[in-house]
């Protein structure tokens, strides 16, 4: 399953930057793909016309878990200030929509079925 196109942040089409100015939220070509064994990948630059854009070697690595009826995901992040760290997100499924919520924002993804040729890749983590 692949979910793509973050279409809003906290349900809004704009957010305030650190400088206090409104910044438009442009639909980004970001995709999520869930694999067996608790693996999830977040793809930047996902393109439904380009098979290599779904290669998990190019994705942000993550793990997901269903515990006590709650779904959560944890991704590896890289920051010049903080180095490498894990960020945990709450995951909520509403029909054909997945909401990822971190400590600050809620990101909305819409499900899209992948062609069979996109299913050739497996995560290496």
Q: Give the domain extent around 16.
A: 2-114
Tens digit of pLDDT for each residue in 67-101?
A: 888 889 999 888 888 899 888 888 888 888 888 88
Question: Is residue 120 in some structural domain?
Answer: no
3-state SS assignment for residue 119: helix
Q: Is residue 119 situated within a structural domain?
A: no
Enumerate residues 6+ apart whose C-beta is below 8 A from 93.
71, 99
Task: Tell whether 42 is covered by a domain.
Answer: yes
Is position 121 within any domain?
Answer: no
- Other beta carbons within 10 Å of 59: 23
93 occurs within a structural domain: yes
User: Beta partners for 24?
Assistant: 14
d(CA 109, CA 6): 5
Model pTM above 0.95: no
For 101-120, what is the mean pLDDT?
82
Asked if the model's pLDDT at residue 1 lies above 50, the reply is: no
Task: With CA atoms as reference, report the closest residue to 62 among 31, 83, 106.
Answer: 31
Domain count within the chain: 1
Cross-strand partners of 15: 23
d(CA 3, CA 11): 17
Residue 122 lies in a domain: no
Q: Which residues of 25-35 are buried (b: 16+ CB within 10 A; e: fewer)?
A: beeeebbbbbb
Span 6-29, average pLDDT: 66
Can you give the CATH number for the domain in which 37 is found?
2.40.128
Q: Could you tell me if residue 32 is inside a domain?
A: yes
| pLDDT tens sequence across 7-16 | 556 666 666 6
């Amino acid at each position: 399953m692949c979910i793509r196109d973050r279409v809003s942040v906290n349900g809004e089409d704009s957010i305030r930057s650190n400088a206090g100015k409104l910044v438009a939220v442009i639909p980004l070509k970001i995709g999520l793909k869930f694999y067996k064994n608790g693996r999830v990948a977040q793809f930047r630059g996902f393109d439904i016309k380009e098979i290599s854009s779904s290669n998990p070697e190019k994705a942000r690595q993550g793990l997901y878990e269903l515990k006590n009826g709650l779904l959560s995901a944890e991704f590896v992040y890289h920051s010049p200030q903080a180095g490498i760290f894990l960020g945990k997100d709450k995951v909520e499924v509403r029909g054909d929509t997945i909401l990822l919520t971190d400590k600050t924002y809620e990101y909305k993804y819409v499900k899209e079925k992948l062609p069979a040729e996109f299913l050739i890749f497996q995560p290496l983590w």
